């Protein structure tokens, strides 16, 4: 049983780490702000969630797991909201070059 | 090699300190000067904290089964220093705001040139 | 590796001319330094730096930027002379480090004098797991009292500088309308903030009173508390925040914290001990220490929170 | 295994840092800072496990909260600071 949990948590940690790096690369390579937002979204939610989940499995039941759970909860609350506010501000903020770029960007519908 | 690794933290602290120092003396913008001062400040924090670290030590919160702790004294000093630092930073920023209201600029040179005739 | 990141960030801060970007990078800078503090075992310090650096000081700097210019003109002097001065000073300092004890050396002079005593005797004398808290509030209570006083004084100074003589109180309605349509704050943000704020307040209280056992204490809790109010003010407006906690209450509270701290010290005097000696407060010395530290941390927390919120109110209210 | 995760997080932090330096627009920088903050939270959490003392998650928790607050603050101040320097009122979210 512990073996299975261990393996699962490793898988979670590794997957989280991989997603983190891929999100980071996307953050670097994507052409404009709105596409970068997607990359950052990956690292902020899934990567963080997976890594923290992996840690939770390692920690077992207890105060540590509860704290980790709260971190997941807060992150899953705050980071989409932050991303939303960011995108909104970028759209509304009258950022001309950015809007211009977003219109030109073929990947954006 | 051992020397370099062993002194790396000091060198980084010095580098940061010099960076902050450079910002303070070379830039005319008062806000930037404050940022420079803050960098300087952080370098001092890092110097203290890295001196308090003991190899193989753990955070100075007593727990069963841990025998080596890092030095708690620098932590205490720096903890209060950080909060005091933000208080003084706020004071400095308030001064900048008032200077901006009085002179209409936060550039050191402009302020000097406005002061000279009067 | 993190240290190198820090150095690179510092260079970028120097080179960037857009002051807004500078503040952003400075926020990263303080996050980084907090991460470094964690790796160097200074969890309490990291806690403080996290709350202060990423939260309050960024916000204050932004507020200043909103009130002053956003970009910096290119330098008019030559940069050679300052660079030279810096290089010479830095070289001298590097030369000085050659005699310093190596990183992490347990034999370094710093670890020989008071620290072992704190680490060995504080469990028996004070009985708290968190040595940092014991040292902060008990062994070095004088220092902390002094620092609280400094914070209080800084708060008073900012109040004097920014509180009086408001420039214009009437604000332009057309501007407001324009802003209203463009930046009407989203429902999502408001709902999430409403859900979040009670939890954060709870967390701040937890930090305040759990500081004896884990990382935390009055300084950190005060800053987190202040950060909650910053969030509230940002989302619901300064007027609403002032209705919750009026500036007058803050003035009183900031003084009250210092008084509480000093009062505990004086109570020790009356009980027959020294100033800030908590062992005499209750019959059992360790229990007395517990009580004293709890009260003192409370005083610290109250003052720090009140002063930080006051800073924010003043900076935010300046523009009105 | 924790070491691997830590390394991955460090690499991601580095990438975010590069974006923060290069970031052509201010929003890119804010995004990078936000991401960096999340990565710091993760780093602290994983590092606690790496050193075998996972009791210090309070810090990570505090980061998660403060990071959000600072992002909101940044956005708000940026929006108002940019609009009009003299009439910047950072407190009109509600009654606009």
Residues of chain D found within 8 Å of residue B63, distances taken between Cβ atoms:
53, 55
Residues of chain B found within 8 Å of residue C22, distances taken between Cβ atoms:
31-32, 35
Residue B17 confidence (pLDDT):
81
Contact assessment for residue C53 and residue C30, using Cβ atoms and an 8 Å cutoff: yes
Residue of C67, C36, C44, C40 whose CA lies nearest to C223: C44
| Domain definitions of chain B by residue range | 2-115
Please determine, for residue C143, whether its predicted confidence score (pLDDT) is greater than 60. yes
**What is the ipTM metric for this complex?**
0.79
Q: Average pLDDT in the C88-103 region?
A: 77
Count CA atoms closer than 13 A to C36's CA, side-chain side: 26
Condensed to tens digits (0 to 9), the pLDDT of residues B59-98 reads 777 776 677 777 778 888 888 888 888 888 888 888 888 8
Distance CA B12, CA B1 (A): 16
Please determine, for residue C267, whether its predicted confidence score (pLDDT) is greater than 60. yes
Residue C195 confidence (pLDDT):
82
Residue C76 confidence (pLDDT):
61
Q: Average pLDDT in the C233-248 region?
A: 78
Chain D, residues 26-85, CB within 8 A of chain C, namely 26, 29-30, 32-33, 36-37, 40, 43-44, 47-48, 55-56, 58-59, 61-63, 65-70, 72-74, 76-85
Reduce the DSSP state of residue A28 to 3 states and report it.
helix
Is A14 part of a structural domain of the chain? yes
Token pair for residue C230?
Answer: 């910053």
CA-based nearest distance D36→chain A, Å: 9
Is A16 part of a structural domain of the chain? yes
Contact B82 C49 (CB under 8 A): yes
Which subunits count as partners of chain D given 3+ CB pairs below 8 Å?
Answer: A, B, C
Residues of chain A found within 8 Å of residue C189, distances taken between Cβ atoms:
81, 84-85
List the single range of A97-101, B26-30, C307-311 with lowest mean pLDDT. A97-101
Residue of C221, C208, C210, C209 whose CA lies nearest to C305: C221
Please determine, for residue D82, whether its predicted confidence score (pLDDT) is greater than 60. no
Distance CA C193, CA C184 (A): 15
Residue C75 confidence (pLDDT):
60
CATH number for the domain formed by residue range(s) C1-73: 1.20.120.1200
Contact C189 A84 (CB under 8 A): yes
CA-based nearest distance D8→chain B, Å: 23
Distance CA C135, CA A11 (A): 42
Q: If you average pLDDT over every residue of chain C, what do you get?
A: 75
Contact D27 A98 (CB under 8 A): yes
Contact C66 D67 (CB under 8 A): no
Contact assessment for residue D63 and residue C46, using Cβ atoms and an 8 Å cutoff: no
SS (H, E, C) C14-39: HHCCEHHHHHHHHHHHHHHHHHHHHH
Token pair for residue C106?
Answer: 């347990």
| B61 reaches D (C-beta below 8 A) | yes
Condensed to tens digits (0 to 9), the pLDDT of residues C44-67 reads 888 888 778 777 888 888 777 777
Contact assessment for residue B18 and residue B42, using Cβ atoms and an 8 Å cutoff: no
Distance CA C8, CA C240 (A): 41
| D77 reaches B (C-beta below 8 A) | no
Distance CA C136, CA A26 (A): 45
Contact assessment for residue C26 and residue C6, using Cβ atoms and an 8 Å cutoff: no
| C194 reaches D (C-beta below 8 A) | no
A48 vs C278, more confident? A48
Please determine, for residue C183, whether its predicted confidence score (pLDDT) is greater than 50. no
| B27 reaches C (C-beta below 8 A) | yes
Instruction: Collect all residues with Cβ–Cβ distance below 8 Å to C178 and sequence separation of at least 6.
Output: D83
C304 vs D23, more confident? C304
pLDDT band at B40 (very low <50, low <70, confident <90, very high): confident
pLDDT band at C19 (very low <50, low <70, confident <90, very high): low
**CA-to-CA dists, residue C23 to C54, C214, D42, D66, D89, angstroms:** 10, 31, 23, 16, 19
List the single range of A91-95, B38-42, C304-308 with lowest mean pLDDT. A91-95
| Domain definitions of chain C by residue range | 1-73, 130-320
Q: Average pLDDT in the D69-88 region?
A: 58
Residue C172 confidence (pLDDT):
40
Residue C253 confidence (pLDDT):
84
Residue C174 confidence (pLDDT):
38
Residue C181 confidence (pLDDT):
35
Distance CA D28, CA A89 (A): 12
List the single range of B44-48, C158-162, C297-301, D13-17 with lowest mean pLDDT. D13-17
Please determine, for residue A103, whether its predicted confidence score (pLDDT) is greater than 70. no
Contact B61 D55 (CB under 8 A): yes
Residue C177 confidence (pLDDT):
37
Question: How many degrees, rounded to 5, is the angle at CA C13 between CA C8 and CA C19?
Answer: 160
Q: If you average pLDDT over every residue of chain B, what do you get?
A: 79
Q: Average pLDDT in the C169-194 region?
A: 53
Mutate to test the interface with B, among C1, C67, C68, C91 (most CBs of B within 10 A): C68
Residue A34 confidence (pLDDT):
76
Condensed to tens digits (0 to 9), the pLDDT of residues C110-124 reads 777 777 777 777 777
For B44, other C-beta atoms within 10 Å of its C-beta total 16
Condensed to tens digits (0 to 9), the pLDDT of residues C211-227 reads 777 777 788 888 888 88
Residues of chain C found within 8 Å of residue D35, distances taken between Cβ atoms:
none
Contact assessment for residue D44 and residue D59, using Cβ atoms and an 8 Å cutoff: yes
Contact A92 C189 (CB under 8 A): no
Is there an interface between B and A (3+ Cβ pairs < 8 A)? no
- Number of compact structural domains in chain A: 1
**CA-to-CA dists, residue C235 to C60, C220, C229, C265, D79, angstroms:** 16, 23, 10, 40, 13
Instruction: Collect all residues with Cβ–Cβ distance below 8 Å to C286 and sequence separation of at least 6.
Output: C125, C126, C127, C279
Is there an interface between B and D (3+ Cβ pairs < 8 A)? yes
C102 vs D95, more confident? C102
Residue C1 confidence (pLDDT):
55
Residue C182 confidence (pLDDT):
37
List the single range of A90-94, C161-165, C177-181, C226-230 with lowest mean pLDDT. C177-181
- Of the candidates A21, A43, A58, the beta carbon closest to that of D35 is on A43
CATH class as words, domain B2-115: mainly alpha
SS (H, E, C) C111-145: HCCHHHHHHHHHHHHCCCCEHHHHHHHHHCHHHHH
pTM of the model: 0.81
pLDDT band at A93 (very low <50, low <70, confident <90, very high): low
Please determine, for residue D89, whether its predicted confidence score (pLDDT) is greater than 60. no
Residues of chain D found within 8 Å of residue B61, distances taken between Cβ atoms:
55
Q: How many CB pairs under 8 A join B and C?
A: 289
Contact assessment for residue C208 and residue C290, using Cβ atoms and an 8 Å cutoff: no
For C110, other C-beta atoms within 10 Å of its C-beta total 17
């Amino acid at each position: 049983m512990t073996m299975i949990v261990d393996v699962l948590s490793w898988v979670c940690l590794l997957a989280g780490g991989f997603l983190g790096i891929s999100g980071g690369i996307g953050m670097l390579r994507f052409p404009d702000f709105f596409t970068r937002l997607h990359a950052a979204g990956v690292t902020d939610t899934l990567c963080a969630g997976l890594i923290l989940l992996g840690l939770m499995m390692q920690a077992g039941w207890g105060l540590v797991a509860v704290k980790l759970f709260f971190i997941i909860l807060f992150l899953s609350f705050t980071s989409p909201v932050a991303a939303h506010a960011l995108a909104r501000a970028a759209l509304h903020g009258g950022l001309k070059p950015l809007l211009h770029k977003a219109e030109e960007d073929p990947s954006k519908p | 090699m051992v020397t370099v690794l062993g002194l790396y933290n000091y060198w980084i602290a010095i580098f940061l300190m010099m960076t902050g120092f450079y910002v303070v003396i070379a830039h005319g913008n008062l806000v930037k000067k404050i940022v420079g001062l803050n960098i300087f400040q952080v370098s001092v924090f890092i110097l203290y904290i890295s001196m308090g670290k003991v190899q193989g030590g753990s955070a100075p919160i007593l727990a069963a089964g841990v025998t080596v702790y890092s030095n708690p004294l620098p932590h205490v000093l720096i903890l209060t220093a950080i909060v005091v630092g933000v208080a003084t930073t706020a004071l400095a920023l308030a001064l900048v705001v008032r200077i901006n209201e009085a002179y209409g600029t936060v550039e050191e040179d402009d302020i000097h040139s406005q002061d000279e005739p009067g | 590796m993190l240290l190198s990141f820090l150095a690179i960030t510092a260079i970028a801060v120097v080179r960037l001319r857009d002051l807004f970007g500078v503040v952003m990078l400075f926020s990263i800078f303080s996050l980084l330094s907090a991460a470094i503090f964690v790796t160097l075992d200074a969890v309490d310090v990291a806690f403080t730096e996290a709350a202060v650096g990423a939260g309050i000081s960024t916000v204050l700097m932004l507020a200043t930027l909103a009130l002053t210019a956003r970009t910096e003109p290119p330098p008019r002097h030559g940069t050679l002379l300052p660079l030279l001065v810096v290089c010479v000073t830095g070289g001298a300092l590097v030369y000085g480090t050659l005699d310093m004890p190596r990183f992490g050396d347990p034999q370094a002079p710093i670890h020989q004098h008071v620290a072992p005593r704190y680490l060995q005797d504080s469990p028996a004398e004070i009985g708290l797991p968190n040595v940092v808290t014991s040292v902060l509030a008990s062994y070095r209570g004088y220092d902390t009292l002094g620092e609280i006083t400094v914070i209080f004084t800084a708060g008073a100074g900012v109040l004097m500088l920014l509180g009086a003589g408001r420039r214009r109180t009437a604000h332009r309605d057309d501007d407001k309308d324009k802003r209203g349509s463009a930046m009407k704050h989203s429902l999502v943000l408001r709902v999430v903030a409403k859900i979040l704020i009670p939890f954060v307040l709870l967390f701040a209280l937890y930090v305040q009173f759990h500081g004896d056992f884990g990382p935390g204490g009055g300084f950190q809790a005060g800053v987190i508390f202040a950060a909650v109010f910053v969030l509230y003010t940002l989302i619901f407006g300064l007027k609403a925040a002032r209705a919750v906690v009026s500036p007058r209450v803050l003035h009183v509270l900031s003084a009250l914290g210092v008084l509480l701290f000093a009062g505990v010290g004086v109570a020790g005097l009356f009980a027959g001990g020294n100033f800030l000696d908590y062992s005499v407060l209750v019959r059992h010395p360790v229990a007395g220490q517990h009580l004293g530290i709890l009260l003192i941390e409370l005083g610290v927390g109250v003052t720090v929170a009140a002063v930080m919120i006051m800073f924010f109110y003043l900076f935010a209210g300046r523009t009105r | 295994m924790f070491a691997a995760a830590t390394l991955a997080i460090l690499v991601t932090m580095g990438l975010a840092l590069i974006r923060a330096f290069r970031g052509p627009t201010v929003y890119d920088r804010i995004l990078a800072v936000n991401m960096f903050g999340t990565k710091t939270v993760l780093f602290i959490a994983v590092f606690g496990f790496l050193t075998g003392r996972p009791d210090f998650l309070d810090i990570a928790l505090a980061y998660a909260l403060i990071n959000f607050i600072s992002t909101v603050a940044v956005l708000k101040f940026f929006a108002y600071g940019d609009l009009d320097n003299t009439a910047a009122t950072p407190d009109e979210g509600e009654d606009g």
